[in-house]
């Protein structure tokens, strides 16, 4: 992380653990760096069952407080929400209020999905909480997208609507993470899915903060003269039109993009022929 900051590259920290103060001090030095803290519940006893190896709730909230004090953008991830366990509207509202007070400016949410290959293990873990959850989950998780089972779309839309409304009322932006719906259409024999963010997000991107693409400029990197909202971009000065489409990019994609030579205006002003990377 120190090497990245020294070269002026933004860092995004996502964790269910404690963020060391040394990391907070590093992030302060890079204006587009930010933190995301996963807090699934305000109930510490329930947290121990759901995230036994994670930090306790107070430590997670302290991450947000220290980020706020340092002037670092902070996101709270209610990600994932467990149906019939952490989806109660009153509990969600209480959690949003708590993380807001601690310093979160944006909420990311999702409903847990169950990988087909490990569903037996997942059900076994759920049985430790309540054996009645097993038939309830079998009934709810009927939509197979990719290699995972997802909760029925009507249920997910109901929860996301509630969480969006709570965030609106609390003055926080909201977005979903990796939430998709089957469209009923196919392309080359494969089902077509659509992202649900366009229906529920109140932010310009998933993370809530706009981070421009950085490009190499000598020994360091500089941000492009753009706002970083790739999904809304209609005239990409980076020359990478694919970014506006969204997707699960692979390393090969980034390598390919880094080889494109384009004339790009940096925040410093002026024109510079550089490689994206």
Q: Are residues 127 and 243 in the same domain?
A: no
Closest CA to 52 of 119, 128, 118: 128
Q: Are residues 42 and 170 in the same domain?
A: yes
Whole-angstrom CA distances from 195 to 70, 237, 252 are: 34, 25, 23
CB atoms under 10 Å from CB of 208, counted, come to 23
Q: Are residues 74 and 136 in the same domain?
A: yes
Q: Are residues 170 and 231 in the same domain?
A: no
Whether 149 maps to a domain, the answer reads: yes
Closest CA to 40 of 4, 89, 12, 77: 77
Q: Are residues 126 and 187 in the same domain?
A: yes
List, for residues 63-84, the tens digit of each pLDDT value: 999 999 999 999 999 999 999 9
Q: Are residues 128 and 252 in the same domain?
A: no
List, for residues 112-133, the tens digit of each pLDDT value: 999 999 999 999 989 989 999 9
Name 99's Cβ contacts closer than 8 Å, sequence gap at least 6.
37, 39, 61, 64, 76, 107
Is the Cβ–Cβ distance between 114 and 141 less than 8 Å? Answer: yes
Q: Helix (H, G, I), strand (E, B), or coil: what is residue 192?
A: strand
Mean pLDDT along residues 244-264: 75
Nearest-angstrom CA–CA distance, 249 and 244: 12
Whether 246 maps to a domain, the answer reads: yes
Q: Are residues 187 and 223 in the same domain?
A: no
**pTM score, whole prediction:** 0.88
Q: Are residues 54 and 7 in the same domain?
A: yes
Closest CA to 160 of 196, 136, 184, 203: 196
Select from 172, 200, 228 the last residue of a domain.
200
Tally of domains in the chain: 2
Q: Are residues 167 and 271 in the same domain?
A: no
List, for residues 25-61, the tens digit of each pLDDT value: 999 999 999 999 999 999 999 999 999 999 999 999 9
Select from 177, 200, 223 the last residue of a domain.
200
Domain limits for position 171: 2-200
Q: Helix (H, G, I), strand (E, B), or coil: what is residue 15?
A: strand
With 70 as the cut, is the pLDDT of residue 265 above it? no
């Amino acid at each position: 992380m120190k090497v990245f900051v020294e070269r002026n590259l933004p860092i995004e920290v996502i964790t269910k653990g404690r963020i060391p103060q040394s990391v907070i001090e590093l992030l302060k030095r890079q204006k587009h760096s930010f933190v995301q803290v996963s807090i699934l519940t305000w109930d510490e006893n329930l947290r121990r069952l759901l995230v036994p190896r994670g930090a306790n709730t107070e430590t997670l909230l302290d991450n947000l407080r220290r980020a706020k004090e340092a002037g670092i953008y902070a996101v709270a991830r209610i990600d994932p929400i467990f149906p019939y366990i952490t989806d109660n509207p009153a509990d969600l509202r209480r959690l949003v209020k708590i993380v807001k007070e601690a310093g979160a400016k944006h909420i990311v949410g999702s409903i847990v999905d169950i990988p087909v290959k490990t569903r037996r293990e997942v059900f076994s873990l759920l049985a430790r909480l309540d054996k009645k959850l097993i038939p309830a989950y079998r009934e709810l998780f009927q939509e197979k997208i990719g290699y995972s089972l997802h909760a029925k779309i009507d249920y997910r839309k109901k929860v996301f609507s509630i969480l969006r409304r709570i965030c609106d009322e609390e003055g926080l932006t909201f977005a979903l993470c990796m939430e998709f719906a089957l469209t009923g259409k196919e392309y080359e024999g494969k089902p077509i899915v659509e992202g649900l963010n366009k229906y529920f997000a109140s932010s310009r991107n998933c993370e809530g903060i706009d981070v421009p693409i950085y490009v190499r400029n000598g020994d360091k990197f500089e941000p492009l003269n753009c706002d970083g909202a790739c999904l809304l971009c209609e005239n990409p000065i980076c020359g990478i039109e694919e970014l506006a489409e969204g997707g699960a990019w692979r390393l090969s994609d980034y390598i390919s993009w880094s080889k494109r030579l384009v004339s790009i205006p940096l925040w410093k002003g002026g024109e510079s022929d550089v490689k994206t990377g």
